[in-house]
Structure 1
Amino acid sequence: MSLIDLSWRNMKRNFRLYTIYFISMLVGVVIYFTFSGLMYNKDVVAAIQNKENYQTVILIASIIVFLFIVFFILYANSFFMKQRKKEFGMYLLYGMKERQVATMVFFETLFLSAFAVAGGILIGGLLSKFFGMVLMNLMHYNDDISFAFPLKAILSTILIFVLLIVIITIQSYFNVRRVQLVELFHAKEKMDKPFKFSFILAILSILLIAGSYYTITLSGHTELWSEHFNLVLIATTAALIIGTYLFFRQFSGWLLQKMSERKNYLFGNKMLWISSLRFSIRGNTINFTFNSLISAVVIFGVGFIAVDYAVKADVVKKEFPNHFVFSTPNENALTEVEEIMNDAHPILAHETITGIQTEKFTDRTPFYSYPEYYTEEFYLFPESQLNAIVDLRGVGDKVNMQENESILLTRGIDDPTKYSDLTITVLENQEFEVTEKIRYPLLSIPTNPGGDTGPQPSVLVISDEVFDSLKENNVLSSYEVYQIEDPNTSNEESRKIHKIITGTEGAYYSAYVDEYSTNTESSSLVLFSVAFFAVIALFALGSVIYFKQLREATEEKEHYAILRKMGVEDKELKKIIRKQLLFVFLPPLLLGLAHSWFLLYYTVIQVIQDLPSLTTIIFSVMGLYVLTYFIFYISSASIYYKIINEKNTR
């Protein structure tokens, strides 16, 4: 019998074990090809406005996805090899050489990889349409996405997994070389001993976690964080990590020990599942700690990015309320601009506003919290024109100015403020009393289709009477403000209009779509990528627990067989397994949720209080995470029972 025949027979004989490994590889191919397919999907690329930025982000994300997949599949292969130690030992005992065993494993990996790559590309291609539609929806685009199997994506997936096969083969070879024949006879003698737990260390774990939580609650504007940020951050992180480790190493063990000392310990099935858990605490501590901390990072990361995505969409609307606004060009240029707009995006409203430019102010700190974001010169506009723009936008409050009163218009980085003794002198001798500062950009931040921005015009609103008296002796600057239909997709029109307007030196230009496409596309890509990473991370974490429980189930077969002989029924065995696995899945999840909640509440929820959907977003992220973990728990319990029941069904 050749090694190829032996490899094929092994795969058919141990179908369940190979299926678990095959699914791991298949999921890896699906994830990578889906992501890679999005980078080359013609429909997606055509819809994206900032194509270079999109492909760069997707490329970086694909590399990160690949690294996740490498880690996950190598872990799965390591589990697979450990499950087959006895088998490899028998081959060596029968006279096969290590090189021959490694070659057999290579053929098995090759067979599985070929099926996984073929199936993964097919499934990934089908899923790429769905994920492409999700991405378009996040970007608020209405483009149709078709099923696609880009040749570049197929070739890169095959190349990546050929490289992975080589890495797996090398890993498998060293695993085979480490197999000792003596393990065939003493494999069952290596068992965890009951671990002694310290009450002091158990309490210390709670104190460290509680202390880190308390420090996080002070993260707003306290001197502790503002003056010693790096030191406090390191100390809080260290306390959280050490506290989490001790929680699983000491507190959970101490809790189980106390449960074993209770009078009702011998009643029901408590003794069976509690004693099993006490023996496995030592081996599970690292996994529990890692899963809990990574869960916290994943939930916090996705929650934070999801909120950032929602906030950015709202901020762009507020900061760039003018779909188009630019310096008034000559009559021919203005006609050409309006034709460009109407051809694709009919004009809904138009207003011309006129202002007076003042001299430059080098010191603007009395007026702005961040003066570097505003022009040094001020622009004076009459109240009637501000009120006209309020009508045009349908957003904002109209003003009514008295004599030399004035209102300062700012952007979101400046808080609204009322003044009682603030004055400003412009145009050499004209003094105004600044009564308040409000967030209402009359003239938005200057933009261009490439994504660059400039300082926002400093705008001062004054009364109509005073403006009329000043305009005769000063140079006036007029601006055209347009609202159009469906401004989100006006990128091409913005490029054309920008080219016309900026043909005049010093002209002002700002378009909502320039900032919208840059911010919305980038935030959508980040959210999409992070959510994708979260799915991979969650799948990997769940699988780590899953594989470990399968290994423990295989090792516990004989113990459960003894329980059966003692008269324990199947229904009771299932209860024992469910309770045992609940302790394995639930504590890391609950602690991860607690960690992430404190981080999100004190760094996001309390900071951003005016977003109605904030808590909905965060609870949705947590809910999806819990649901996925629950699926892993149910699946693990089912497979665990099948494995320990395997001998009795043969």
Structure 2
Amino acid sequence: MSLSKLVFRSMKKNMKHYYLYFFALIFSVTLYFSFVTLQNNAEVLATVQKSGTATAGFEAATYILYFIILFFVLYANHLFMKRRSKEVGLYQLIGMTKGLIVRLLAVENILLFVGAVILGMTAGFFSSRFFAMVLLRVLEKEALVTMTFSTQALQQSIVVFAILLVIVLAQMAWMIQRVSLLSLFSASKQADERVKRFSPLQMMIGFLGLVLIAYGYYASTKLFDIESTGNLFVNMIIILASTIGGTFLVFRFSVAFIMNSVRLKKNGHLSVHDVLALTPIMHRMKSNAKSLTLITVLTGVSLGVTTLSYIAYYSSEASAYSQVPGDYILLEDNGQEFLQMLKQNNIAYNKVDYRLQAVTASVAQLLPKDQKDSPFYNMKGTIYTVPLSDYRQSVPEASMSGNDVILTNYGGYMAEMFPLEKDHDMVVTVGEHEETFHVIDVQDKSIISGIVTAGGGGPIFVVTDKLFEKLAKYSNESQWHKQTSITLKSKEDLALAEKLYTQSGAGVISSIDSEGETKSYKQASFEGKRKENIETLGITIFTTAFLGLAFLMTTGSILYFKQMSEAEEERGSYTILRKIGFAERDIMKGIYMKQAFNFGVPLLIGLLHSYFAVKSGWFLFGTELTTPLWIAMICYIALYAIFAVLSVGYYKKVIRESL
């Protein structure tokens, strides 16, 4: 028989195995080709070409995606080869050399790759338009997305998957050459490790895993504390190592120990549910610990990165408002022409004028007592004051007297990392004069432009009008003296107002600083700043969500493939159970318990990992945590549930066919 006939007969016989591997290949090609085609789409290029960071982000995401695909395909190929180990052993028994077997399987893999690449590129071509529409929607861009075939994407994909094919063939040849004939017949039925009894040492190691995870979670909550920021990188490495190491020890020892303890408490009276759930999990922990740890870590990392990106995107409007607390900000006497244009076009607006007076102070005086020792936080800087009468234009209920002050405009990551306390006295200087403020409240309400507060989030003092006038007597020439906040009464006038703002040049400001130098500033409108944030963060959330989807599909598929393999290995056991009288529903109860563990535990621990990782530094990315975190977690739970349902369905099919 010729090699070609043998190849086709082998492929026909193993079709039930091939579809699993074939799906993995098609899915990988579809993801990669659609993403690469997206980068060469004319509408997408017109959107991102203004940003070199976006282009670099797309390129970096392409490499990460290829790494995910490489890991996915190599695992699927390994599983596929393990399931065909007996067949390979039979080939050797009838006299075929390992070299001939390698050539046989190589031809099969080449045919599979060619078919998968063709189908995957076809699916990727059609799906790329959908992803392009999603991206433009996220960026709030209106554009007609056309379906264009990119020869550059085609060439890049062919080269990439040709390299992947070579790697897969090398893996396959290595697996065949390194194993003995006897091991091939038992490879698909090898138990991962039979746990006969547990020693006190194993119990201690399992408990240590829980301690390491708990320590990692605790350390993450202290990551950005003032005392630990100096060793930030070292602390991050320690947290990462303790969390990953603890996860492995929990899966390797703790889970098997718990399962064995439950089994021993039953004094040998095990139900069919226990046999099908507790025992298989306990006996497969050595190999499963590695894969479950990897899946858990990948789930935590991908969910954490996706959540942080979504936090930044979700907070784009709030971040813009912290920089531009009004539809338009006019500094000094700049923007009078813009106000005239608004009146000429009958655009109604509200106006709030703030007078500004600079003082020199250190907000470290408002830090908690146990955080005042570090000299880094005793540095003084310029802080602006506004009179109470001006502040009441936006907060009518505000009230104070004497040297009482309100510290406002203090929010974002500064407020999270360096929380200030009220009911403290602090000494400020104005020229040669010293004054003692009593801070009665600390608020995060933004009222002053980020240009004035040097980046946004900087504090502003609200003082009584009498105190403001007193400070003015001792004041040197400060950089800023006045701010006018404009808020449109109707958002329907926003488009026209944006054009007038640009035409009038109100956003371009020249100011003379305390040293007599003239500096130019560009004050964006709120809508302009919001769109700028959307364009920057929209590409980030799209790429991270795309990679998160790839990670999720990879981890979920690996779990699904593994459960399919275990179901085939346990087919004989189901046949015995059916023959001695157990109904399908009795067997399926144990399967439900087993799948709840195999999918639920890695997901639960992964969610906990991502939660504490995100909780430690979310404020560096945005202003809202709860909503983005819940949305991302719900998406992951839903997709994992789909894989769990598919896995249960496959087990049900195997059980029905076992009798």
TM-score, with length taken from structure 1: 0.77
Q: Is the 8 A contact 1:424 1:434 kept in 2?
A: no
Q: Is the 8 A contact 1:444 1:457 kept in 2?
A: no
Instruction: Point out the more displaced range, 206-215 or 455-464.
Output: 455-464
1:199-348 mapped onto 2 (5 Å cutoff): 200=200, 201-202=202-203, 204-206=205-207, 208-210=209-211, 212-213=213-214, 216-217=217-218, 220=221, 237-261=240-264, 262-263=266-267, 265-268=269-272, 270-271=274-275, 273-327=277-331, 335=337
1:105-504 mapped onto 2 (5 Å cutoff): 105-139=105-139, 141=140, 143-144=142-143, 146-151=145-150, 152-178=152-178, 180-183=180-183, 191=191, 194-198=194-198, 200=200, 201-202=202-203, 204-206=205-207, 208-210=209-211, 212-213=213-214, 216-217=217-218, 220=221, 237-261=240-264, 262-263=266-267, 265-268=269-272, 270-271=274-275, 273-327=277-331, 335=337, 349=349, 351=351, 353=353, 355=355, 385-387=390-392, 390=394, 396-397=395-396, 410-412=409-411, 413=414, 422=426, 424=428, 426=430, 439-446=444-451, 463=465, 481-483=485-487, 485=491, 501=508
Partner of 1:15: 15
Residues 337, 178 of structure 1: CA spacing in aligned structure 2 closer, same or farther, 3 A cutoff? farther
Instruction: Point out the more displaced range, 46-55 or 158-167.
Output: 46-55
Out of 648, 651, 658, the residue aligned to residue 637 of structure 1 is 648
TM-score, with length taken from structure 2: 0.76
Instruction: Point out the more displaced range, 535-544 or 40-49.
Output: 40-49
Q: What is the one-letter code of the residue matched to 2:600?
A: L
- Cα RMSD, aligned residues only: 4.9
Kindly indicate whether residue 551 of structure 2 is the aligned counterpart of residue 537 of structure 1: yes
Q: What is the one-letter code of the residue matched to 2:519?
A: G
1:540-555 mapped onto 2 (5 Å cutoff): 540-555=554-569
Partner of 2:372: none
CA distance in structure 1 between the aligned counterparts of 2:339 and 2:126, rounded to whole angstroms: 42
The superposition leaves residues 15-55 of structure 1 with CA deviations (integer Å, 9 ceiling, x where unpaired) of 22111111111111222233333333333444559532222
Instruction: Point out the more displaced range, 626-635 or 100-109.
Output: 100-109
CA distance in structure 1 between the aligned counterparts of 2:189 and 2:35, rounded to whole angstroms: 46
Out of 522, 544, 547, the residue aligned to residue 509 of structure 1 is 522
Q: What is the one-letter code of the residue matched to 1:115?
A: G
SS of the residue 1:506 aligns to? strand
SS of the residue 2:70 aligns to? helix
Residues 93, 227 of structure 1: CA spacing in aligned structure 2 closer, same or farther, 3 A cutoff? same
CA distance in structure 2 between the aligned counterparts of 1:405 and 1:576, rounded to whole angstroms: 68
Partner of 2:24: 24
Q: CA deviation at 1:69?
A: 0.7
Q: CA deviation at 1:226?
A: 7.0
Q: What is the one-letter code of the residue matched to 1:463?
A: D
CA distance in structure 1 between the aligned counterparts of 2:378 and 2:495, rounded to whole angstroms: 25
CA distance in structure 2 between the aligned counterparts of 1:325 and 1:617, rounded to whole angstroms: 30
CA distance in structure 1 between the aligned counterparts of 2:343 and 2:331, rounded to whole angstroms: 19
Q: Is the 8 A contact 2:33 2:157 kept in 1?
A: yes
CA distance in structure 2 between the aligned counterparts of 1:5 and 1:420, rounded to whole angstroms: 88
Residues 508, 620 of structure 1: CA spacing in aligned structure 2 closer, same or farther, 3 A cutoff? closer
CA distance in structure 2 between the aligned counterparts of 1:382 and 1:237, rounded to whole angstroms: 49
CA distance in structure 1 between the aligned counterparts of 2:7 and 2:141, rounded to whole angstroms: 50
SS of the residue 2:329 aligns to? strand
SS of the residue 1:444 aligns to? coil
CA distance in structure 2 between the aligned counterparts of 1:568 and 1:426, rounded to whole angstroms: 88
CA distance in structure 2 between the aligned counterparts of 1:273 and 1:219, rounded to whole angstroms: 34
CA distance in structure 2 between the aligned counterparts of 1:3 and 1:491, rounded to whole angstroms: 72
The superposition leaves residues 128-162 of structure 1 with CA deviations (integer Å, 9 ceiling, x where unpaired) of 344444444544x1525625345143433333222
CA distance in structure 2 between the aligned counterparts of 1:463 and 1:45, rounded to whole angstroms: 54
CA distance in structure 2 between the aligned counterparts of 1:257 and 1:456, rounded to whole angstroms: 57
CA distance in structure 2 between the aligned counterparts of 1:430 and 1:189, rounded to whole angstroms: 83
Residues 193, 517 of structure 1: CA spacing in aligned structure 2 closer, same or farther, 3 A cutoff? closer
CA distance in structure 2 between the aligned counterparts of 1:575 and 1:321, rounded to whole angstroms: 58
Q: Is the 8 A contact 2:356 2:385 kept in 1?
A: yes
Q: What is the one-letter code of the residue matched to 1:445?
A: G
Q: CA deviation at 1:540?
A: 2.0
Instruction: Point out the more displaced range, 27-36 or 409-418.
Output: 409-418
Instruction: Point out the more displaced range, 215-224 or 16-25.
Output: 215-224
Kindly indicate whether residue 61 of structure 2 is the aligned counterpart of residue 61 of structure 1: yes
CA distance in structure 2 between the aligned counterparts of 1:225 and 1:477, rounded to whole angstroms: 38
The superposition leaves residues 519-567 of structure 1 with CA deviations (integer Å, 9 ceiling, x where unpaired) of 4444433333333333222222223233333333333344444444445
CA distance in structure 1 between the aligned counterparts of 2:532 and 2:363, rounded to whole angstroms: 30
Instruction: Point out the more displaced range, 418-427 or 151-160.
Output: 418-427
Q: Is the 8 A contact 1:203 1:251 kept in 2?
A: no
Q: Is the 8 A contact 1:353 1:478 kept in 2?
A: yes
Out of 606, 609, 628, the residue aligned to residue 592 of structure 1 is 606
Residues 630, 402 of structure 1: CA spacing in aligned structure 2 closer, same or farther, 3 A cutoff? closer
SS of the residue 1:194 aligns to? coil
Partner of 1:393: none
Q: CA deviation at 1:288?
A: 2.8
Q: Is the 8 A contact 2:37 2:153 kept in 1?
A: yes
CA distance in structure 1 between the aligned counterparts of 2:597 and 2:402, rounded to whole angstroms: 73
Q: Is the 8 A contact 1:372 1:455 kept in 2?
A: no
Residues 400, 578 of structure 1: CA spacing in aligned structure 2 closer, same or farther, 3 A cutoff? closer
Residues 297, 470 of structure 1: CA spacing in aligned structure 2 closer, same or farther, 3 A cutoff? closer
CA distance in structure 2 between the aligned counterparts of 1:422 and 1:70, rounded to whole angstroms: 59
Q: Is the 8 A contact 1:364 1:371 kept in 2?
A: no
CA distance in structure 1 between the aligned counterparts of 2:521 and 2:189, rounded to whole angstroms: 80
Residues 563, 365 of structure 1: CA spacing in aligned structure 2 closer, same or farther, 3 A cutoff? closer
SS of the residue 2:60 aligns to? helix
The superposition leaves residues 295-322 of structure 1 with CA deviations (integer Å, 9 ceiling, x where unpaired) of 3444444444434443454233233213
CA distance in structure 2 between the aligned counterparts of 1:421 and 1:630, rounded to whole angstroms: 56
The superposition leaves residues 315-374 of structure 1 with CA deviations (integer Å, 9 ceiling, x where unpaired) of 33233213433446789xx648987x999x99653748585776x85x655789899999
Q: What is the one-letter code of the residue matched to 2:210?
A: I
CA distance in structure 2 between the aligned counterparts of 1:271 and 1:398, rounded to whole angstroms: 69
Q: What is the one-letter code of the residue matched to 1:174?
A: W
CA distance in structure 2 between the aligned counterparts of 1:477 and 1:208, rounded to whole angstroms: 59
Residues 372, 235 of structure 1: CA spacing in aligned structure 2 closer, same or farther, 3 A cutoff? closer
The superposition leaves residues 233-265 of structure 1 with CA deviations (integer Å, 9 ceiling, x where unpaired) of 666555544443333333333333344442462
Q: Is the 8 A contact 1:374 1:458 kept in 2?
A: no
- Give percent identity, aligned residues only: 25
- Structure 1 residue runs without a partner (length 5+): 391-395
CA distance in structure 1 between the aligned counterparts of 2:531 and 2:256, rounded to whole angstroms: 53
Out of 533, 538, 542, the residue aligned to residue 528 of structure 1 is 542
